Amino acid sequence: LKPAPFEYLAADTLDQAVALLQDRGAEAKLLAGGQSLVPLMNLRLARPQSLIDLNPAKELAYVREQDGALTIGAMTRHHHVASSGLIREHAPLLAAAAANIGFPAIRHRGTIGGSCAHADPAAEMPLVALALGATFVVASSRGVRRLPADGFFVSHLTTALEPDEVLSEVTFPKPPKSDGWAFEELSRKAGDFVTVAVAVQVSVANGRVGRLEVALAGVAERPLKVPTGELSGRTLDEAFYGEIAERAGHLVAGPANGHGADDRAQVVRVLTERAVRRAVATAGQG
């Protein structure tokens, strides 16, 4: 399989990528790890006239602690996200989810920016960006915008990015170290995209729920947050676990990936309850 002919352009810096994208217009595509785009091009489902390669732009690959947040350059590979000491210390949920992406070869090429811009509804990075309240920093010739993860993922393979915008950085607020967290996923076999995944971040005080974030992947055309607002302050009893599982099950949109909606809703209930229990069990041990 070979892609349709295209013009190859190397961007050495973010500014250069922005300028090339502005110049070549909507017929151009950015190339990050190529783990989603290249297969689409080989199948001729994507036929960009120009390919703007971000790999030479080394300034886009970093993990930093800055102003109480973790800032991660868009070209940071999944493997680096999974193994970074800073991320494992301050956002272990993110590191654990990254370690579950595909296979080692995919994780060594694929990037956090490419995954979030690609917006596969079953992908791990968009899921955790939503759960942890990440912000996407995007650049274009019109300047820089900061877009919250809530609202960034619009639909299947569609984000709030404009065609002339480059995602340059993803910023994660650092959760308190006493928070509990858990990541659970079900896939047909190791390395596959998930059928369903659940990401949970929770704070617990005096046997009661504090802040609770639960996000799901694989259940709709984009990652979804389970509504948890008024569960704050609830006692951690069986009724609480049952309710959060029910709420998650209600979000299941319909059949996908060959599984029926009822089966999927049941899987979502079970995985959510398991993940919330695990997250609560690890809370307060920071």
Helix axes 92-99, 124-131, angle to 10 degrees: 170
* Site size for ligand FAD (CB under 6 A): 30
Q: Which of the ranges 79-87, 117-125, 147-155, 254-262 carries the binding residues for ligand FAD, by CB under 6 A?
A: 117-125
Contact between 36 and ligand FAD by CB under 6 A: the answer reads yes
Q: Which of the ranges 86-94, 108-116, 219-227, 241-249 carries the binding residues for ligand FAD, by CB under 6 A?
A: 108-116
Please select the residue that binds ligand FAD; options are 33, 73, 121, 180, rule is CB under 6 A.
33
Contact between 106 and ligand FAD by CB under 6 A: the answer reads yes
Nearer to ligand FAD, 40 or 69 (CB): 40
Q: How far is the CB of 54 from ligand FAD (least distance, A)?
A: 6
Please select the residue that binds ligand FAD; options are 73, 92, 113, 218, rule is CB under 6 A.
113
Q: Which of the ranges 109-117, 145-153, 169-177, 232-240 carries the binding residues for ligand FAD, by CB under 6 A?
A: 109-117
Contact between 170 and ligand FAD by CB under 6 A: the answer reads no
Contact between 135 and ligand FAD by CB under 6 A: the answer reads no
CA distance 213 to 199: 8
Contact between 193 and ligand FAD by CB under 6 A: the answer reads yes
Contact criterion met (CB below 8 Å) for 200 and 131:
yes
Q: How far is the CB of 263 from ligand FAD (least distance, A)?
A: 20
Q: How far is the CB of 182 from ligand FAD (least distance, A)?
A: 18
Contact between 96 and ligand FAD by CB under 6 A: the answer reads no
Q: How far is the CB of 40 from ligand FAD (least distance, A)?
A: 8
Taking alpha carbons only, the member of 191, 187, 243 closest to residue 218 is 187
Q: How far is the CB of 72 from ligand FAD (least distance, A)?
A: 12
Contact between 124 and ligand FAD by CB under 6 A: the answer reads yes
CA distance 229 to 76: 33
Interface residues with ligand FAD (CB under 6 A) are 29-37, 39, 54, 74, 101-102, 106, 110-111, 113-115, 117-118, 120, 123-125, 161, 166-167, 193
